[in-house]
Amino acid sequence: MSTSEQPPWHAAYPKPVSEAVFLPRSTVLEWFSSEDKLPGKHFVLVDLRRNDHEGGTIKTSINLPAQSMHPSIPTLYTLFSSAGVAAVVFYCGTSCAPDPRTCKVGLTKETGSSQGRGSRAASWMQDYINEKGDNNMKSFALEGGIKGWVKEGGNLLEMVDGYEEEAWKKFV
């Protein structure tokens, strides 16, 4: 079987039941500014990029490549629920829905994104949260992903650790 004929990485895992809820960038920025919302305590950002993890990441994010995320869901849930985390926000390059026609920022695989990582991970996590009957935690996909974050610019760029302008020129 050639590389082009191999199934996508996510084919080894169950299809999510929950539909991803997309969280606006402005909401995440408000959380960073709020004294009532502390990153790592009230919300956690999860950067799902693996090979395309370049140009920087949103401050306080943990990096967990999407390809290894599904088996980690029970452990992530235990860690996050024990810490009282109320919101888990997943993102990849674009955080599009698995159907590229619904992509919020118009970016495609040609622009360097594996469609659907953010929304798929958010859906899987929400499935697990629902399975546990937990009404205190919610899972989200960041609208537009890191590319949408950088493209918007302004105050959002101040929230990118390791920002490398050159790395983003081909995307924004």
Average model confidence (pLDDT) for the chain? Answer: 86
- Percentage of the chain surpassing pLDDT 90? 63
Write the pLDDT tens digit of every residue in 101-160. Answer: 555 444 343 434 445 899 999 999 999 999 999 999 999 999 999 999 999 999 899 999
pLDDT of residue 104: 44
Q: Is 12 exposed, middle or buried (0-12, 13-18, 19+ CB in 10 A)?
A: exposed
Mean pLDDT of 45-51: 90
Q: Are strands 57-58 and 160-161 parallel, antiparallel or unpaired?
A: antiparallel
140 in Cβ contact with 80 (< 8 Å): no
Q: How far apart are CA 149 and CA 39, in angstroms?
A: 17
Using the predicted structure, report yes or no on whether residue 30 has a pLDDT greater than 80. Answer: yes
pLDDT tens by residue, 49-60: 987 677 899 999
Closest of 43, 92, 35, 36 to residue 69, by C-alpha: 92
pLDDT of residue 94: 82
What CATH fold (topology level) applies to the domain 14-161? Oxidized Rhodanese; domain 1 (3.40.250)
Q: What is the pLDDT of residue 93?
A: 86
Check pLDDT > 80 for residue 96: no
Per-domain boundaries in the chain: 14-161
What is the share, in percent, of the chain residues with pLDDT greater than 70?
A: 84
* pLDDT at residue 1 tops 90: no
Higher pLDDT, 44 or 67: 44
Distance CA 33, CA 108 (A): 31
The sign of the torsion formed by the CA atoms of 96, 17, 130, 64 equals negative
Neighbouring CB atoms inside 10 A of 69's CB total: 20
Per-residue pLDDT, 3 = 56
